């Protein structure tokens, strides 16, 4: 009789096929494991449901090892008496919940955490009926954890694991550079994001985002410098005889904050510098008037559903691409370039649409003679 060491009581077991009618199968099942979330059933091993000992199983169908295990370790079982058991139905099998500490349940819980983090979903998604229905179809035996468990256990554990790996990568890098910027959310909440940049031992560029922290106080140099110093300490970047270059925009408060935090050399953002120079050029009267005229045309078609529908019909008639006009953002020079490029592409359709009599609320400043470039 060949018997392996005792297994894990939480191991998931699959019942044998109904074609295997030996009495020993009441007490044994095939162990199930998951490799990359793929369910794998080991048909070369069986697990005793009484003591969780693993017993080798021959593919020839011999039950000698299992019968010997029962006679040697579970002498109270009489294999000569056929048990009076009823066959388990499929619905009742799915009604048995997965143990919360099983490999399968842990894998699904982690996948839910990854879904919330990667797609930036709210914790309350686990309470939504659609999400719960999806999980019940994919794995009826899985019990979805509460949002409290996710916020207190799952997500913090994932964050700490990732943070350890990031700190390990930063500590092994020969030199680390930082970039940072302050921005405002749609809810008018101010944040400061810090990103690290380094080359690992395999000569691969790494760009982990270290943190995005809310900024409640005024954006003074002193307060921003304090936030930057906290980043250096928390991510263990304060090494002796080592400089930490930082790239920011050209605002005086963040430049002074970088110097106060001991980050050097400071490098002004090239894109921000180019944008400042371009804005000076776009501010010339002749160019500014031209952009203002095109901007009024674009705004008109964005706000009028009737005008937008007529423009679409003119695009079809003139066989032009069905592209929408682009509205520029004054603080980004390349958006003005995109607006002009799109306008020139659609100029014939725009001219034809504004000449239509159905457009009755067109501003007086937008006559066809004024918008043709």
Q: What is the pLDDT of residues 37-51, one digit of tens each?
A: 788 888 888 888 888
8 Å CB contact between 189 and 210: no
Do 177 and 263 fall into the same domain? yes
CA distance 146 to 123: 9
Inside any domain, residue 354? yes
> Do both 257 and 291 map to the same domain?
no
Q: How far apart are CA 302 and CA 325, in angstroms?
A: 8
Let me know if residue 3 belongs to a domain.
Answer: no
Q: How many CA atoms lie within 13 A of 41 on its CB side?
A: 10
Identify whether residues 201 and 263 lie together within a single domain. yes
pLDDT attached to residue 94? 52
323: in domain? yes
Which pLDDT score, from 0 to 100, does residue 3 have?
A: 44
Tokens read off for 269: 């953002």
Q: Do 296 and 341 have their domain in common?
A: yes
> Would strands 266-268 and 246-248 be described as parallel, antiparallel, or unpaired?
parallel
* Helical axes 285-303 vs 333-345, angle rounded to 10°: 70
Residue 211 lies in a domain: yes
CB 29 within 8 A of CB 47: yes
Number of domains in the chain: 4
User: What is the spatial distance between Cα 358 and Cα 279, in angstroms, rounded to a whole number?
Assistant: 37
Can you give the residue range of the structural domain that contains 299?
A: 285-371
Shared domain for 110 and 25, answered yes or no, is no
Between 360 and 330, the more confident residue is 330
What DSSP line would sit under 261-309, residue for residue? TT--SEEE-HHHHHHHHHHHHHTSHHHHHHHHHHHHHHHHHHH-HHHHH
Residue 55 lies in a domain: yes
pLDDT tens digit sequence for 203-219: 999 999 999 999 998 99
Proportion of the chain above pLDDT 90, given as a percent: 51
User: Do 216 and 194 reside in the same domain of the chain?
Assistant: yes
- Give this prediction's pTM: 0.60
Are the C-beta atoms of 23 and 82 separated by less than 8 Å?
yes
The b/e string for 154-193 (b: 16+ C-beta within 10 A; e otherwise) is bbeebeeeeeeebbebbeebeebbbbbbbeeeeeeeeebe
Which residue, of 236, 268, 300, is where some domain finishes?
Answer: 268
Whether the Cβ atoms of residue 299 and residue 327 lie closer than 8 Å to each other:
yes
Classify burial at 23, counting beta carbons within 10 Å of its beta carbon; exposed 0-12, middle 13-18, buried 19 or more. middle
Do 217 and 299 share a domain, yes or no? no
- Confirm if 42 and 12 have CB atoms less than 8 A apart: no
Q: Are 206 and 199 in contact (CB under 8 A)?
A: yes
Residue-level pLDDT at 4: 44
Q: How many CA atoms lie within 13 A of 72 on its CB side?
A: 12
The pLDDT of 272-278, averaged and rounded, is 87
Give the mean pLDDT of the chain. Answer: 86
Q: Answer yes or no: is 93 within a domain.
A: no
Q: Per-residue pLDDT tens for 216-256? A: 989 999 999 999 999 999 999 987 667 899 999 999 999 99
Specify the CATH number for the domain of residue 212. Answer: 3.30.420
Output DSSP code: residue 18: T
Q: Is the pLDDT of residue 2 over 50?
A: no
Q: What is the mean pLDDT of residues 155-174?
A: 94
Same domain, 217 and 200: yes
Tokens read off for 171:
């500590």
Residue 154 in any domain: the answer is yes
Residue 166 binned pLDDT confidence (cut-offs 50, 70, 90): very high
Helix 103-118, helix 155-172: angle, nearest 10: 70
Assess whether 290 and 363 both reside in one domain: yes
Same domain for 249 and 216: yes
Q: Which of 264, 263, 268, 257 is nearest to 227 (CA)?
A: 257
User: Mean of the pLDDT values across residues 298-326?
Assistant: 93
Interhelix angle 333-345/270-282, rounded to 10 degrees, is 60
Say if residues 198 and 175 touch (Cβ distance below 8 Å): yes
| pLDDT for 108 | 94
What does the alpha-carbon distance between residue 273 and residue 219 come to, in Å, rounded to a whole number? 21
Q: Are residues 135 and 200 in the same domain?
A: no
> Taking the CA atoms of the chain, what radius of gyration do you get in angstroms?
34
Q: Mention every residue, 6+ apart, whose C-beta is less than 8 A from residue 308.
A: 301, 302
Q: Which of 112, 147, 167 is the last residue of a domain?
A: 167
20 compared with 89, residue with greater pLDDT: 20
The residue among 268, 303, 336 that closes a domain is: 268
Omega cis (within 30) before 265: yes
Lowest mean pLDDT among 19-23, 32-36, 108-112, 159-163: 19-23
Q: Could you give the CA distance from residue 111 to residue 120 in angstroms, rounded to a whole number?
A: 14
Over 70: is that where the pLDDT of 265 sits? yes
Least confident of 47-56, 103-112, 121-130, 147-156: 47-56
Q: Is residue 4 part of a domain?
A: no
210, 198 contact by CB (below 8 A): no
DSSP state of 53: B
**% of residues, the chain, pLDDT over 70:** 89
Residues 177 and 254 in one domain: yes
Please give the pLDDT value at position 349.
93
Higher pLDDT among residues 305 and 1, named by residue: 305
- Chain length of the chain: 373
What pLDDT is recorded for position 95? 59
């Amino acid at each position: 009789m060949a018997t392996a060491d005792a297994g894990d009581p939480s191991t998931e077991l699959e019942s044998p096929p109904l074609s295997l009618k030996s009495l020993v199968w009441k007490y044994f099942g095939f162990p199930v494991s998951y490799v990359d979330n793929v369910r794998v059933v080991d048909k070369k091993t069986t697990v005793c449901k009484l003591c969780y000992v693993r017993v080798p199983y021959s593919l020839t169908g011999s039950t000698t090892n299992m019968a010997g295990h029962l006679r040697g370790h579970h002498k109270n079982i009489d294999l000569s008496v056929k048990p009076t058991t009823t066959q388990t139905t499929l619905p009742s099998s799915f009604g048995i919940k997965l143990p919360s500490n099983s490999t399968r349940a842990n894998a699904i819980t982690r996948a839910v955490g990854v879904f919330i983090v990667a797609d930036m979903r709210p914790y309350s998604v686990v309470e939504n009926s659609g999400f719960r229905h999806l999980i019940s179809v994919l794995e009826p035996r899985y019990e979805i954890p509460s949002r409290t468990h996710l916020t207190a256990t799952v997500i913090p554990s994932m964050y700490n694991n990732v943070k350890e790996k990031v700190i390990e990568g930063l500590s092994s890098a020969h030199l680390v550079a930082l970039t940072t910027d302050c921005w405002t959310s749609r809810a008018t909440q101010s944040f400061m994001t810090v990103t690290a940049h380094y080359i690992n031992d395999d000569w691969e560029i790494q760009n982990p985002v270290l943190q995005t922290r809310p900024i409640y106080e005024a954006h003074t140099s002193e307060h921003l410098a304090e936030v930057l110093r906290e980043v250096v300490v928390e991510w263990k970047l304060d090494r002796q005889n080592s400089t930490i270059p930082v790239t920011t925009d050209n605002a005086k408060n963040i430049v002074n904050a970088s110097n106060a935090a001991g980050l050097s050399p400071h490098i002004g953002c090239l894109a921000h510098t180019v944008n400042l120079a371009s804005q000076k050029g776009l501010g010339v009267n002749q160019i500014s008037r031209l952009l203002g005229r095109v901007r009024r045309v674009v705004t008109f078609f964005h706000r009028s559903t009737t005008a937008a529908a007529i423009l679409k019909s003119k695009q079809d008639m003139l066989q032009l691409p069905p592209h929408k006009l682009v509205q520029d953002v004054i603080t980004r020079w390349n958006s003005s370039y995109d607006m002009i490029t799109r306008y020139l592409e659609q100029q014939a359709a725009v001219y034809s649409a504004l000449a239509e009599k159905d457009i009755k609320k067109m501003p007086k400043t937008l006559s066809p003679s004024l918008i043709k470039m």
